Amino acid sequence: MTTPILERATVLPPLQLGRLTVDPAVVLAPMAGITNPAFRTLCREFGAGLYVCEMITTRALVERNEKTLQMVRATTDEADAFSVQLYGVDPATVARAVGMLVDERVAGTRPAHIDLNFGCPVPKVTRKGGGSALPWRRRLFGDIVRAAVGAAGDVPVTVKTRIGIDPQHVTYLEAGRIAQDAGAAAITLHGRTADQLYSGTADWAPIARLVEEVDIPVLGNGDLWEADDAVRMVAETGCAGVVVGRGCLGRPWLFGDLAAAFAGSSRRALPSLREVAAVMHRHATLLSADQGELHGCTDFRKHVAWYLKGFSVGSDIRRALAMVSGLDELAELIDRIPDQPYPLAVLGAPRGRTTPPRPVALPEGWLDDRDDPRPPKGAELQVSGG
């Protein structure tokens, strides 16, 4: 892997969350269907600070839904740093779910960190008052954070949110103050409103404003496609760390770049196709070990286009890879692709979903009373199962 020189490097100190030290201060964002045990292991092998599992629904966890219990499993190398993100809209249910994780160790280990999701913009979540819609109900928001912190004991609880519902309903500053007062160890801010979904360009200015507003660490999230972006975000906002989501899709070595950047090194990875192919096979092997070869390779199919983005690959091989069902078949197909240097044209380009903006689906009357502490009726039942 070649290593071009960046114009600027910086050193970011470790992030302290209670007794948990995150070094480097780089967090793998929870992504549904992506940040399973196999992907977390792969990213850990390239080097970062904290790896969060897929978002877990508190109602499903409390009900001991079988799929959810499987999703919340820790891997053997996560024994001291297992990280869980929870979604919930009822303080009592959130507290029970946190208690299960901390006291019963339903993940197989006691989590080192719990994050609360108040940033999801998906309609099936917001229309029930959850995700990025919830901070608008400030009393309910504060009650949920306090309930989680109280049940977590010495396990640090953090919060992830967005700028607000839309430009007319901005919540991030108040949410930061409430989260801090409720005992949150840190807050992550994605530089978009909920109505933007994943469109346009993330606005990092609110991250800088939140850093000025609260005393707890602020982590920045949004449009971190390269290590350069993370270095620039820290320089521009003063954030204490970064949370990386779509930027690592098909590029788990990005965490190695980030670790190098925040250690003050200019080393960056530009893997050849042969090197990318080895990572692809390693990823599929980890999925197969966890899920069985057929299911693991089937799950791996969605990653193929991300790994091969920008490379010259014949349409027949792409079609075959989209239907791959075994590790030997995968190895044979990727061996048929001629080796080539990393496509520089894709550097800095968006990855993953890029949905157009649209109005946020909200429960009827949701915007009427910000101090209504009641959970939305039946909200968690609609998204149970993890």
Catalytic positions, written as ranges:
120
* Angle at 176 (CA atoms; ends 106, 231), nearest 5 degrees: 90
Backbone phi and psi for residue 4, each to the nearest 5 degrees, phi listed first: -70, 160
The total of other beta-carbon atoms located within 10 Å of residue 282's CB is 15
Question: Scanning the structure block, which residue is given the tokens 């939140």?
Answer: 210
